[in-house]
Amino acid sequence: MSIFGSMKTAVSGMSAQANRLSTVSDNIANANTVGYKAVSTSFSSLVLPSSSGNYNSGGVQTSVRQAISEQGDISYTTSAYDLAISGDGFFIVESADGTPVLTRAGDFSVDSDGNLVNSAGYTLMGYSYDSGVPAVVVNGFDGLVPVNVAESGLSAIASTSAYFSGNLNSEATVVTDTTTLPSANTSSVTDDTQKMSLVAYDSLGATVQYDYYFTKTGVTTDASGAVTGSTWEVAVYRNAEAATGGTTSFPYSSDAVSVSTLSFDADGQLTSATDTDIVDPTTAQTISMDYSSFTQLASDFSATGSADGQAASSVSSVSIDTDGVVSVSYANGTTKALYQIPLATVASPDNLTLLSGNVYTANGRSGVTVTGFPQTNGLGSIQSGALESSNVDLAGELTEMIEAQRSYTANSKVFQTGSDIMDVLVNLKR
């Protein structure tokens, strides 16, 4: 048996308990840190070769374990920018130097540039809707941009598409005199026409009303006289150019901005629609019209329609849903999606590398990062107006602290005893 060996064992024991106390102090200090995950100290023995009559004391070594995969309690706040993850996954955030990292700390607020930044200074990343509905890059962070909610002032979106659906009466009179068709734009327009109007928006957000005229122009039959199909003309004019002071809107001051032909089969189903785009020279815009849901049955005329785009309106609020879609709501009641926030995960979250600011990076033991949208492929959901608390158990940490103190004291007594024995050996020579 080595007296020096027992003293060194005691020193390793004190060092191990000091490490244990360090993790306890970290946990207690971060008990109120948003999204913080508790760390703990794990002990393992170090054994030295010994004989049956001579035992060599070894020592103890420690390793730090992280409880990253353990969900913390969720508490609710009054800020729509506070985000909590319920389930698996991490927010992808970016440091000041542009490095993407992972975090569960969702205490975001708007900085001077309009970006969402958490209390540690990391910027939330997401996919933009500027090029349409985003697609996730599962094996990397390509395509991610800072989530910016600085939507101020007025916003307007020009119409690019519209639709009409409904029914055209199959028993309507066929108009054969082309000079009385709405497309002729004369004052003597046939009465056998149905009219509807639709509102669209120009690039400045101003409303533009279009008048639609539906007129039956032809019927085809087979050798027996049975009807095999029919055609309708759809003429579209700018309402602002309609005639005033008379009993009819005709003649308009400019030609039709669209003249389409709708063809139906014997069963009243639409078979083709030609020249359907509205080409408006006044607003310099083209609006793609969709008539595909029209039928021609023996029933009264009916139609409903809508156009995309948005009138000039101010932003009233910003919202984030459980799928991570960041949307702005305008004063006129319309909404627009800006970003979708993805989540990332790894095969072994507890083995991620912890960095300052309560963020993590992947390594060889944790596995590679896999990105996806919330509520897909096992990822959790995002809760707006909520924060994930730390998963530290204060009562447990105080108990750990007492145990570490007792064990440290006991190891120091072993060291002190070894020192006393060494004094005895030295004094034997005297």
Q: Is the pLDDT of residue 388 over 60?
A: yes
Q: Which of 50, 57, 39, 76 is nearest to 3 (CA)?
A: 57
214 and 303 inside one domain = yes
Q: Which of 38, 43, 126 is nearest to 337 (CA)?
A: 126
274 and 167 inside one domain = yes
CATH number, domain at 272? 2.60.98.20
Distance CA(91)–CA(126), nearest Å, equals: 9
178 and 247 inside one domain = yes
Task: Please report which confidence band the pLDDT of residue 124 belongs to, taking 50, 70 and 90 as the band edges.
Answer: very high
C-beta of residue 387 within 8 angstroms of C-beta of residue 103: no
User: Which tens digits make up the pLDDT trace of 54-103?
Assistant: 777 778 888 899 999 999 999 999 999 999 999 999 999 999 999 999 99
51 and 133 inside one domain = no
User: Which tens digits make up the pLDDT trace of 259-296?
Assistant: 999 999 999 999 999 999 999 999 999 999 999 999 99
Range list of H helices, 95-193? none
Amino acid occupying residue 166:
G
Side-chain-side CA neighbours of residue 292 (13 Å): 4
In the prediction, which pLDDT does 347 show? Answer: 95
In the prediction, which pLDDT does 47 show? Answer: 78
167 and 297 inside one domain = yes
Q: Is the pLDDT of residue 408 over 80?
A: yes
Last residue of some domain: 283, 308, 333? 308
Helix axes 394-428, 3-29, angle to 10 degrees: 160
Q: Is the pLDDT of residue 1 over 60?
A: no
224 and 300 inside one domain = yes
247 and 271 inside one domain = yes
138 and 219 inside one domain = no
Q: What percent of the chain has pLDDT over 90?
A: 74
Q: Is the pLDDT of residue 332 over 80?
A: no
| Interval 152-181 mean pLDDT | 90
164 and 303 inside one domain = yes
Global pTM? 0.68
Question: Could you tell me the CA-to-CA distances from 114 to 34, 80, 233, 329, 367 in Å, in that order?
Answer: 22, 14, 50, 16, 34
User: Which tens digits make up the pLDDT trace of 6-32?
Assistant: 888 888 889 999 999 999 999 999 999
Distance CA(363)–CA(59), nearest Å, equals: 29
- Stronger pLDDT, 4 or 142, i.e. the higher one: 142
In the prediction, which pLDDT does 132 show? Answer: 87
How many domains in the chain? 3
265 and 211 inside one domain = yes
Q: Which two tokens stand for residue 57?
A: 């004391």
According to DSSP, residue 352 is labeled S
| Interval 410-421 mean pLDDT | 86
Give the SS3 label for residue 185. Answer: coil
C-beta of residue 62 within 8 angstroms of C-beta of residue 42: yes
C-beta of residue 161 within 8 angstroms of C-beta of residue 268: no
Q: Which two tokens stand for residue 97?
A: 């130097």
Task: Please report which confidence band the pLDDT of residue 314 belongs to, taking 50, 70 and 90 as the band edges.
Answer: confident
Q: Helix-strand-coil percent breakdown of the chain, rounded to 5?
A: 15, 40, 40
C-beta of residue 291 within 8 angstroms of C-beta of residue 277: no
Task: Please report which confidence band the pLDDT of residue 153 belongs to, taking 50, 70 and 90 as the band edges.
Answer: low
In the prediction, which pLDDT does 235 show? Answer: 97
Residue span of the structural domain in which 7 resides: 3-70+391-428
| Interval 199-215 mean pLDDT | 95
Strands 285-297 and 161-169: parallel
In the prediction, which pLDDT does 306 show? Answer: 94
Q: Which of 285, 377, 315 is nearest to 152 (CA)?
A: 315
- Stronger pLDDT, 399 or 48, i.e. the higher one: 399
SS3 sequence of 219-277: EEECCCCCEEEEEEEEEEEEHHHCCCCCCCCCCCCCCCCEEEEEEEECCCEEEEEECCC
- Stronger pLDDT, 36 or 312, i.e. the higher one: 36
242 and 290 inside one domain = yes
In the prediction, which pLDDT does 53 show? Answer: 67
In the prediction, which pLDDT does 3 show? Answer: 80
Question: Could you tell me the CA-to-CA distances from 337 to 133, 319, 330 in Å, in that order?
Answer: 9, 9, 11
In the prediction, which pLDDT does 430 show? Answer: 64
Region of residue 289 (phi > 0: left; psi between -120 and 50: alpha; otherwise: beta): beta
According to DSSP, residue 174 is labeled P
According to DSSP, residue 349 is labeled G
Last residue of some domain: 308, 333, 361? 308
Mean of the per-residue pLDDT values of the chain: 91
Q: Which two tokens stand for residue 236?
A: 């579209």
175 and 239 inside one domain = yes
